[in-house]
Amino acid sequence: YLIDFTIQAVNMEGKLAATNNYVDIEWSQRARQIEKGYTYENRLAELTYKITGEGTDYLSANKNDEKEVPERLDWIAFKNQFFSSVFLADADFEKTKLSSKMETQGSGYIKDYSAEMSTKFDPAGKEPTQLFFYFGPNHYKTLTALDKGRDEKWELNRLVYLGWPLIRWIN
């Protein structure tokens, strides 16, 4: 499911500095364990992100991992075995800090994800900040369909692992 929303200043003249052109966002999620096999499910749960104009990268799925990403990002995904929660920004994310921590086996959770980022914001309220959330399955055709009609492609289908590069091309 794709949810779109905007952030826009209304009647904030004099209350927000005209030089405040960014809004800081903090997003976190504890991913629930869905399957009985903790180890296998944990291997498939990872924090994935897409660098603007490039490919995707991810934090380690097998250990606690943190990273400051200097590049601009199109989206950040908190992924588990079958479903993903993805945060997308039309104006990209910047100054991003990502964290993925493994939860204790038997806790009912597999990962504790968090992301801190900034995105463009117009304090005068003339330009809204357009953001999106995708909550849904890691299904290749479903994720590919989200790009239809968009000038700039999100390429959320990269969340689906199709094998190594040569095999991915065949798949």
Q: Is 21 part of a structural domain of the chain? A: yes
Is the pLDDT confidence value at 166 over 60?
no
- Condensed to tens digits (0 to 9), the pLDDT of residues 28-69 reads 999 999 988 899 999 999 999 999 999 899 999 999 999 999
Task: Establish if 171 belongs to a structural domain.
Answer: no
170 occurs within a structural domain:
no
Residues of the chain above pLDDT 70, percent: 92
Q: Do the domain assignments include residue 59? A: yes
Q: Residue 162 CB: number of other CB atoms within 10 A?
A: 13
Rounded Cα distance between 68 and 78, Å, is 16
Q: Is residue 168 part of a domain?
A: no
Q: Is residue 34 part of a domain?
A: yes
- On whether the CB atoms of residues 7 and 119 are closer than 8 A, the answer is no
| pLDDT tens per residue, range 117-165 | 999 999 888 999 999 999 999 888 888 888 877 666 788 888 887 655 5
Q: How many domains does the chain have?
A: 1
- Which run of H or E residues covers position 41? helix 38-44
Q: pLDDT digits over 2-25, tens only?
A: 899 999 989 887 888 888 899 999
Boundaries of domain holding 65 = 2-162
In a domain, 67, yes or no: yes
